[in-house]
Amino acid sequence: MRKRERENPCLICGHYHKYEEGEVCGICGHRMPETSDKSSVQSGAFPSEILPDFLFLGSYDNASRSELLKAQGISRILNTVPSCQNLYRNSFIYHSLQDDKSLQFDDAIQFLEQCEREKGRVLVHCMTGKSRSPAVVIAYLMKCKGWRLAQSYQWVKERRSSVELTEAISQQLQEYEHKVFGSNENTVPAESFSFGFAKNDAVPIPAFNTGTGSSIFDRPLEVPTQQFSFGAGQGMNQANPSVSDVSMGGP
């Protein structure tokens, strides 16, 4: 069998398809929705707008361009990297996370909630804007918007396509999701949401609507699990007692 051109699975459904190019997943039908011009257009000099008129995500380079930040109305900066210097203390309100290994999600979220109450625009940044700062924003969406991890990740990824969470950061987010929502039957197993890191187990089961929070992703496929099949098959009301069910994931 020819080796796959794509080594990593889709970051949303866990299956192999070219989701960045809009290709539909042949297993579960997932497709990355098209975003508006405003959300998809990204410039290296400008941070990405995650929540309108409030939450922005970027890199240290973005944080160093004071005039551009002021032009966007940003007055507060959340620095997620202790080694990054806060350059304009006289111009912006800064809050810095102190742990360079484990992200202090609750500390960061408390600052972001204060910014929201005061109606201040805030930039969350790390060195590259690809892992630490996106993780903080994702954690904020889970805690304050009630969105599950998969929903929050997809929202951020659509608005900043360069996001690439490290395996360690991904694990921290999964643990934080468990902390926020608790353990229940609707929780997406860690192996079914791998952030692009290959798993040794069977093909994971996608889950798009696993939470109760209100969001744009809250419309699950209205197809009963036991009646979902690929290709031609018998009618939904027919049964074949002589044929046993076959697992899609293989033996």
> Each residue of 144-158: pLDDT tens digit?
999 999 999 999 999
Catalytic residue chosen out of the listed positions 13, 28, 126, 144? 126
pLDDT value, residue 183: 67
How many other β-carbons are positioned within 10 Å of the β-carbon of residue 16? 17
Task: Report yes or no on 221 lying in a domain.
Answer: no
The answer to whether residue 126 is catalytic is yes
C-alpha distances (whole Å) from 237 to each of 164, 226, 234 are 45, 11, 8
> Each residue of 109-155: pLDDT tens digit?
999 999 999 999 999 999 999 999 999 999 999 999 999 999 999 99
Range of the domain at 171: 48-181
Report how far residue 19's alpha carbon sits from residue 30's, in angstroms, rounded to the nearest whole number.
8
Task: Report yes or no on 63 lying in a domain.
Answer: yes
- Asked whether the predicted pLDDT for residue 83 surpasses 70, the reply is yes
What does the mean pLDDT of the chain come to?
A: 76
Task: Report yes or no on 117 lying in a domain.
Answer: yes
pLDDT value, residue 45: 79
Task: Report yes or no on 107 lying in a domain.
Answer: yes
pLDDT value, residue 9: 59
Task: Report yes or no on 232 lying in a domain.
Answer: no
Task: Report yes or no on 146 lying in a domain.
Answer: yes
pLDDT value, residue 31: 65
pLDDT-derived band of residue 43, with 50, 70 and 90 as boundaries?
very low
The sheet with strand 48-51 has its strands ordered as 48-51, 55-58, 121-125, 74-79, 93-96
Task: Report yes or no on 166 lying in a domain.
Answer: yes
pLDDT value, residue 167: 95
Half-sphere exposure of 121 (CA within 13 A, CB side): 16
Q: What is the mean pLDDT of residues 15-33?
A: 68
CATH number (domain holding residue 172): 3.90.190.10
Q: How many domains does the chain have?
A: 1
Identify the three-state secondary structure at position 161. Answer: coil
> Each residue of 209-227: pLDDT tens digit?
444 444 444 444 444 545 5
pLDDT value, residue 15: 64
List the beta strands (DSSP E) in the chain.
48-51, 55-58, 74-79, 93-96, 121-125
Report how far residue 43's alpha carbon sits from residue 189's, in angstroms, rounded to the nearest whole number.
35
pLDDT value, residue 36: 39
pLDDT value, residue 80: 98
Report how far residue 134's alpha carbon sits from residue 173's, in angstroms, rounded to the nearest whole number.
11
